[in-house]
Amino acid sequence: MRFTKIIFQSSFKKAHERLQSYNPALRSTPHIAQDITTKLQQMQAWSLDYVVPLRNVSAMKISESVTSDHRYQSYISKGSPSWLRHYLATKAQALLPPSS
């Protein structure tokens, strides 16, 4: 599967600025920035949108779980963990209007 149009979201305000101002000629630029920029240039379209941290709690919990538990591929290959399904179901339930 190859994705060519992706919307990224981040609660890090400077992320978009850093990607837009990336200059491969600067030696102080981290190597990972070059890798990310190279991949982004291969896409038809991409955007990086700022999201207020309070609106991005689910994504933050996923990223914390991925990095702390070293689950780099398991979310894709095995599905989401039970704690995440429960968390998202609870959040979805809270958004529903009260039943009469």
Mean pLDDT by 10 residues, the chain (100 residues): 77 76 68 78 84 84 81 65 85 80
In our burial notation (b when 16+ CB lie closer than 10 A, e otherwise), range 46-64 reads bebeeeeeeeeeeeeebee
- Boundaries of every domain in the chain: 5-51, 54-95
Q: How far apart are the C-alpha atoms of 85 and 91, rounded to whole Å? A: 10
pLDDT score for 77: 59
pLDDT score for 100: 55
pTM, rounded to two decimals: 0.54
